[in-house]
Amino acid sequence: KPQIFSGVQPTGNLHLGNYLGALRKFVALQDQMDCIYCVVDMHSITAQLVHDDLKGQTRSITAAYLASGIDPVKHIVFNQAAVPQHAELAWIFNCVARIGWMNRMTQFKDKAGKDRENASLGLLAYPSLMAADILVYRATHVPVGDDQKQHLELTRDIAMKFNLDFAKKIRESGTGIDITVGDEPVHAFFPMVEPLIEGPAPRVMSLKDGSKKMSKSDPSDLSRINLTDDADTVARKIRKAKTDPDALPSEVDGLKGRPEADNLVGIFAALSDRTKADVLAEFGGQQFSQFKPALADLAVTVLSPITAEMRKLLDDPAHIDAVLKDGGERAGAIAEKTMKDVHNIVGLL
């Protein structure tokens, strides 16, 4: 049975991009697969080391998982630091991955900025830890937003190099699996992960600039819809969202060269589980002054029950901690087994 792994960093408030790129997909996949959803707290100290309330932020993302509808009993919800095997496997992957691979990552270039020499070593090695997060469970499918595509390709490169470099040891250990890479059958230890990115809004863009992704670190709060925004704020942000002067087209082709229009139609489609074509069949020919209020109503209808439930859950931090503890123990048991096999394959006594 395919196994899902994904995670969200406990940095800042979740926004609509995180919801549509990650949480909503997490919930939808629960019926089909075994899912492991992590709050990746160790990732959140790569770009900024000291946080005012990292524990509180971890509880808040956990509350968002639960409020969105993730079932922590049927599936696993936990925080990364509770399972030390993530860091242990990341160290081994640091020795598998090449420095050149890391230097090419666009997220590293964006987050490190011009002063790259001064970025933390952890920020450079972020993709190794992400590969370890996934592969310590030998997960096969990873629901993420489009911005994580490059990191998942690197995860495949790391898995592939490990599988090839240790091919003889993997065979001798008897712990390998038969997979196909391209059309080639390969006896491997780590699977080749498949990203699950598709959907009408794989990369939700800033409300102020259709060429930039919606992001927690954008200095303008008007650029994003936070999960904690009240109905008036959501409506105001959508009203003020950048658009062009033309009416909405009737067909998807008409969105080409209109990034802001494309973004808002994509958001509407994703929030209502429809295709962009379907949304344009309803709104094509209408002005943004008509479309924006409908989008605001839809966003509030979808997000406000989640926000309300999150607030309720956060009133009982002991419950959240109990969910994380239980999830950490169950995740830890799987990770421990993988690391025992990895030690054996690598030759660590």
User: Residues annotated as binding site for ATP?
Assistant: 9-11, 17-18, 145-147, 204, 213-217
CA distance 82 to 39: 10
User: Three-state DSSP class for 76?
Assistant: strand
- The smaller minimum CB distance to ligand AQP, of residues 210 and 328, is found at 210
Counting contacts by CB under 6 A, is residue 274 touching ligand AQP? Answer: no
250 CB burial (10 A radius; 0-12, 13-18, 19+): middle
Only one of the segments 17-25, 152-160, 173-181, 339-347 lies at the binding site for ligand AQP (rule: CB under 6 A); that segment is: 17-25
Q: Which of 3, 4, 5, 18 binds ligand AQP (CB under 6 A)?
A: 18
Instruction: Tokens for 95, please give them.
Output: 């020795």
> What are the Cα distances from residue 24, in Å, to 143, 241, 298?
10, 23, 15
Stretch that binds ligand AQP, among 8-16, 75-83, 155-163, 228-236 (CB under 6 A): 8-16
Subset of residues 19 to 38 that bind ligand AQP, contact rule: CB under 6 A: 20-22
Selecting among 161, 169, 208, 216, the annotated active-site residue is 216
Question: Per rule CB under 6 A, is residue 304 in the interface with ligand AQP?
Answer: no
Residue least distant from ligand AQP (Cβ) = 21
User: Which residues, at least 6 apart from 240, have a Cβ–Cβ distance to it below 8 Å?
Assistant: 207, 222
214 binds ligand AQP (CB under 6 A): yes
Which residues 127-146 are close enough to bind ligand AQP by CB under 6 A? Answer: 144-145
- Of positions 41, 133, 147, 260, contacts ligand AQP by CB under 6 A: 147
Q: Which of 217, 220, 289, 290 binds ligand AQP (CB under 6 A)?
A: 217
Backbone angles phi, psi at 8, to 5 degrees: -135, 140
* Euclidean distance between the first and the last CA atom of the chain, given in angstroms as a whole number: 32
Region from 12-20, 51-59, 178-186, 228-236 binding ligand AQP, contact rule CB under 6 A: 12-20
Task: Tell me which residue has tokens 């990292």.
Answer: 54
Is 168 catalytic? The answer is no
CA dist list (Å): 322 to 121, 305, 328: 33, 23, 10
Among 25, 213, 237, 276, which one carries the catalytic annotation?
A: 213
- The residue within the footprint of ligand AQP, chosen from 204, 279, 313, 335 (CB under 6 A), is 204
Q: Kindly tell me which of 163 and 263 has the beta carbon lying closer to ligand AQP.
A: 263
For the purposes of burial, counting CB atoms within 10 Å of the CB of 114, is it exposed (0-12), middle (13-18) or buried (19 or more)? exposed
* DSSP-assigned letters across all residues of 223-287: G--BTT--HHHHHHHHHTS---SSPPPSSGGGGTT-HHHHHHHHHHHHHTT--HHHHHHHHTT--
Residue 151 in contact with ligand AQP, rule: CB under 6 A: no
Residue from 111, 237, 276, 292 carrying the catalytic annotation: 111
Binding positions: 9-11, 17-18, 133, 145-147, 204, 213-217
Type and span of the H or E element at 91: helix 85-96
Task: Pull the structure tokens for residue 246.
Answer: 């033309």
Binding site members for L-tryptophan: 133
Q: Strands, E, within the chain: which ranges?
A: 3-8, 34-39, 76-79, 141-143, 177-181, 184-188, 194-196
Which of 46, 80, 85, 148 binds ligand AQP (CB under 6 A)? It is: 148
Residue 256 CB, shortest distance to ligand AQP, in Å, is 20
Contact status: 223 vs ligand AQP (CB under 6 A): no
Asked if 111 is an active-site residue, the reply is yes
Residues within the interface to ligand AQP (CB under 6 A): 8-9, 11, 15, 17-18, 20-22, 144-145, 147-148, 203-204, 213-217
Which of the residues are catalytic?
111, 213, 216
